[in-house]
Structure 1
Amino acid sequence: MHEQLLGQHSADRLISQEHIEFYRENGFVQVNDLLDEDELATLREYMEESMSAKEGLSVKTGKDNAAYARVLNQKVNTWRDHGGMATFAFHPRFAEIALRLTGAKGIRFFHDHALWKMPGDTNATPWHQDSPKWPMNEDGCMSIWIALDDVDENNGCMMFVPKSHKVGKLTNISLHDPVNIFDFVQGTELADRKPVRVPLKAGSCTFHDGLTFHYAHANKTDKPRRAYAIIYMPDGTTFNGKPHMVSDGQSCTPEEPLRGPMFPLLAKVPAQR
């Protein structure tokens, strides 16, 4: 518990300057052994409880859309119904790594989501960017994606297109009725860039920029592929006024920073003395 309260020091153990440079150049980075065995077991238990519970303030997306459910069984803002999930959603270790990777002066929480890719008949998650889905004016938002099971191309590991975050914000891609995002970059260097597959051991993770092209393989195994994601944004990120399940009903003002109790500041650069 003492280490968990010292997110800065545990970040020192997990990432180096090479991680930071790789992330900024390529728009994603792998971080191994983010969770120890006890933390991994605890998060699995909490997420099982959260996903099986009746919905409260969290939102199960795609529950009325069978096509979406074949891509992802997902619940957003699990922390609002499960105090144990909140300890991971607001974990200082994770936020400190996000702060260092982005180079922001502060990192705020936007939302979390539990991601189960169900066995047998699920589809791949198509190539997309995350940022077009989120109600933010500025770039710089990012995700941590934590594997709760070993993942590879057989059960839904992620793939990324290096440097694709540099192309800017394109369009929102439907996960169950997608268009080909590469159609938007035909004739550019990005169209021919080779994607990178990122298998992970349980307890390891990736961080990726909200503009980075990414994809997840279908789950062809007989067990769910479980992952936990947290969305972060630089402090000062402003609301663009567009509807979103997380910001709706939160008295967010267009062109004003997203802040307050729903979007807490989790890490910041220490003030110089």
Structure 2
Amino acid sequence: MVNQEQIEFFKQNGFVQIDNIISPQELEELRGFMDEIMDSNHANSIQTDKRGGTYYRVLNQRVNTWRDHAGMARYMSHPRFSKAALQLTGAQGIRLFHDHALLKMPEDSKETPWHQDLPYWPMNENGALSIWIALDDVDESNGCMMFIPRSRQAGKLNAISLTEPQDIFEYVKGTDVENEKPVICRMKAGSCTFHDGLCFHYAYPNYSQKPRRALAIIYMPDGTTYSGKPHVLTDDLGLQADQPIRGNMFPLLARG
């Protein structure tokens, strides 16, 4: 699914768009699974906010859907996705960190502010990345993504609040990153982007009349070590600081 041009683009810019990562049949199936998991109250996946909450206006999100739904687990572990991540990173192995179903709800919707992902994750090393699969056609009207090319050269910055955001560009004033122009990734349903955990990214509000559905999966190179920083997905697992993040919650999905 990934050609050399796309690999080089990702290495240079920290993100890449790949069209038609799933077939029309897979798209319809995954939409059905997503609707099922979001309409149910399960014990193992995590709903990050309730309807009416400030965060819910940014993202109606459920984390680790694979733990409650076999269909979601099948796509979370899809070899097409993890092998693409392996190719883009050049890692020797790719492990799951988590998945999350991401809905931008209609009408009372807020933007997802410019941020990096890696500052939220309890990892010592750089190199983790996300696939973001559009389950609906996306553009500026309903919450498509934007990326800042080459922004990962800024390194790991402070985590940005998604509900009361700081201006991430204050951290890069006077650097080359400040002058980079954002790239809007309009996509047809079934297409995806990959982005590095240090790449600056943003999503528009949803001005449409329907939820904007996406599935994101976070991957990390095998051997990534635990920082010891508190995180809802790692706090009670007995992980040791500076030791590799492994185990049944973080399966190895692809090997080089």
For Structure 1 versus Structure 2, the TM-score category normalised by the shorter chain is over 0.9
State the Cα deviation string for residues 147-193 of structure 1 (Å, max 9, x = none).
00000000000000000011110010010110000000011111121
Q: Paired residue for 2:14, among 6, 11, 27?
A: 27
1:146 is matched with 133
How do 1:66-81 and structure 2 match up within 5 A? 66-81=53-68
Cα distance in structure 1, aligned partners of 2:216 and 2:151: 20
Task: Name the SS for the 1:40 alignment partner.
Answer: helix
Give the TM-score taking structure 2 as reference length. 0.98
Partner Cα distance (1:121, 1:223) in 2: 11
Partner of 2:244: 257
| Pairing of 1:187-206 with structure 2 (within 5 A) | 187-206=174-193
Q: Which residue of 1 aligns with 2:162?
A: 175
Q: Offset of 1:120 from its aligned partner?
A: 1.1
Amino acid in structure 2 at the alignment position of 1:68: Y
Whole-angstrom distance in 2 between the partners of 1:61 and 1:21? 35
Q: Does 1:84 align with 2:97?
A: no
- After TM superposition, list the pairs within 5 Å mapping 1:218-233 onto structure 2: 218-233=205-220
CA RMSD of aligned residues (A): 0.9
- Distance in 2 between the 1:202 and 1:106 partners? 28
Q: How does 1:145-164 map to 2 (within 5 A)?
A: 145-164=132-151
Give me the TM-score of the superposition, normalised by structure 1: 0.92
Where 2:58 maps in the other structure, the secondary structure is coil
Structure 1 stretches of 4+ moved >6 Å: none
Structure 1 counterpart of 2:225: 238
Structure-2 residue corresponding to 1:9: none
The yes-or-no answer on 1:107 pairing with 2:61 is no
Separation in 1, partners of 2:117, 2:82 = 19
Whole-angstrom distance in 2 between the partners of 1:65 and 1:154: 21
Q: Which runs of 5+ in 1 are unaligned?
A: 1-13
Give the corresponding residue for 1:123: 110
- Out of 15, 18, 23, the position equivalent to 1:36 is 23
Aligned-residue offset at 1:64: 7.9
CA deviation after TM superposition for structure 1 residue 67, in Å: 1.1
Instruction: Give the structure 1 partner of residue 202 of structure 2.
Output: 215
Secondary structure (helix, strand or coil) at the match of 1:109 reads: strand
Tell me how far 1:65 sits from its aligned partner.
7.2
User: Partner amino acid for 1:167?
Assistant: A
The percent identity for this pair of structures is 59
**Corresponding letter in the other structure for 1:183:** E
Q: Deviations over 1:225-246 (max 9, x none)?
A: 0000000000000000011111
Q: Which amino acid aligns with 2:41?
A: K
1:18 — aligned with what?
5
Residue 224 of structure 2 aligns with an amino acid whose one-letter code is: T
Partner deviation per Cα, 1:191-216 (whole Å, 9 max, x = no partner): 12110000010000000000000000
Aligned to 1:3: none
Q: Note the residue ranges of structure 2 that are not aligned, 5 or more in a row.
A: none
C-alpha distance in 1 between matches for 2:50 and 2:236: 21
Post-superposition Cα deviations, 1:131-150, rounded to whole Å, max 9, x if no partner, equal 00000000000000000000
Shift of residue 62 of structure 1?
2.3
SS in 2 for 1:70: helix
Q: 1:61-93 CA deviation, whole Å, 9 max, x = no partner?
A: 123871111100000000001011000111111
Deviation track 1:237-267 (CA, whole Å, cap 9, x = no partner) reads: 0000011111121111110000011001110
